[in-house]
Amino acid sequence: MTTATLSRWDRFRESFLWYSFKRDKVAIASFIVLLSMVLSAIFAPLLAPADPYDLAQINIMNSELPPVGLDGSDPAFPLGTDAQGRDLLSTILYGTRVSLLIGFGAVVLQAALGILFGLLAGYLGGRVDSILMRIADVQLSFSTLMVAIIVGAVFKASFGNLMFGEVAIYMLIFIIGVAEWPQIARTVRASVLAEKKKEYVDAAKVMGFRTRRIMFRHILPNTLSPIFVIATVQIANAIISEAALSFLGLGMPETQPSLGSLIKSGFDYIQSGSWWISLIPGLVLVVLVLVINLLGDWLRDVMNPRLYKG
């Protein structure tokens, strides 16, 4: 057991991936920033000075306090407080957690859908291919954000506000996952088309393997690197989409805020001078999305897959 993990670790250290990572300062910096954000989001309950979900800890008298260093700030609230008197640092930590959870969840869902439909379209071809890709074309031409807004609007109108607030996390994962599957499906399909012609697939066919086994056990592992690259960028897209939906009031409720709904709730107070409520979470959001995008760029350069160009 230990030898297996050791040798895997050694193999990783010998790999081109690790080699090029060590030489790329932007990639290292982005990775460190991302890792620390993910870790602080995961351990938010331990790190955060206050629990923003706990109404008993909130005092309305503390509302709209500025960050430390400005007039009228309170050292108990390093980044200030929002309009309800919640500690902004804690709310941001919890909000990053919600945003990351939705981002990862949505990408897992769209990867599942995209891989399944991409494999089917690419390997089976013919009618299945043209129907699936036509649906993908139409959905992409509408822009994923538009599809997500419409689906979100329909959900919200049919569930009502209260009910929607309770299931919002799952709804958002579902909405963004369904809205963005074509991106991954097209990439998978393109690389399946290239793999399909190779000899090992013919060999597997001759040996009499079933179609399903060839698709998932033989072809899929060889299409993983483009999936990996595009999934990274898609996490950033999903986080932006979630923030946009929450900003429009179609996402996370204010009682359980994500970065997007924090920005929204702060926007209502920006005219009264409390810029920090929306701009500090905004900065966190931009940094999060930027480092993921930079890592995605680096992965694309290293793995150099044939990505589908839209």
Partner 1 sequence: MLAFLVQRISQAVLVMFVISVIAFAIQDGLGDPLQQMVGMSVSQDEREAIREEMGLNDPLVVQYVRFAGNALQGDLGISYFYGKPTMDVILEHLPATLELVIGASLIIIIFSVPIGVFAAIRPQAWLSKFFMGVSTVGISIPVFLTAIVLIQIFSIGVTVDWFPQDAGWGQWLNAALSTEGGLPSYGRGDDLTPLFGTWESGFFSQGGLLHLILPSVSLASIMLPLFIRLIRAEMMEVLQSDYIRYARAKGLSSSRVYFLHALKNTMLPVITVGGVQIGIMVAYTILTETVFQWPGVGLMFLEAITRSDIPLIVAYLMVVGLIFVITNTVVDLIYGLVNPTVKLTGKKA
Residues that bind partner 1 (CB under 8 A): 125, 129-130, 133-134, 138, 141-143, 145-146, 149-150, 153-154, 156-158, 193, 236, 240, 243-244, 247-250, 263, 267, 270-271, 273, 275, 278-279, 282, 285-286, 289-290, 293-294, 297
> Shortest gap between Cβ of 42 and partner 1 (angstroms)?
22
> Shortest gap between Cβ of 88 and partner 1 (angstroms)?
16
> Shortest gap between Cβ of 303 and partner 1 (angstroms)?
19
Cβ-based nearer residue to partner 1, 50 or 151: 151
| Count of H-run helices and E-run strands, the chain | 13, 0
Cβ-based nearer residue to partner 1, 42 or 290: 290
Residues 21 and 289: beta-carbon distance below 8 Å? no
Q: Degrees (nearest 5) of the Cα angle 33, 37, 42?
A: 150
Cβ-based nearer residue to partner 1, 48 or 300: 300
Cβ-based nearer residue to partner 1, 108 or 244: 244
What are the residues facing 55 on neighbouring strands? Answer: none
> Which candidate, 91, 71, 74, 36, places its Cα nearest to that of 280?
91
Tokens for 122, please give them: 């690419």
208, with CB counted inside 10 A (0-12, 13-18, 19+), is exposed
> Which candidate, 187, 192, 159, places its Cα nearest to that of 174?
159
Distance CA 21, CA 140 (A): 33
> Shortest gap between Cβ of 125 and partner 1 (angstroms)?
7
> Shortest gap between Cβ of 244 and partner 1 (angstroms)?
6
Cβ-based nearer residue to partner 1, 97 or 264: 264
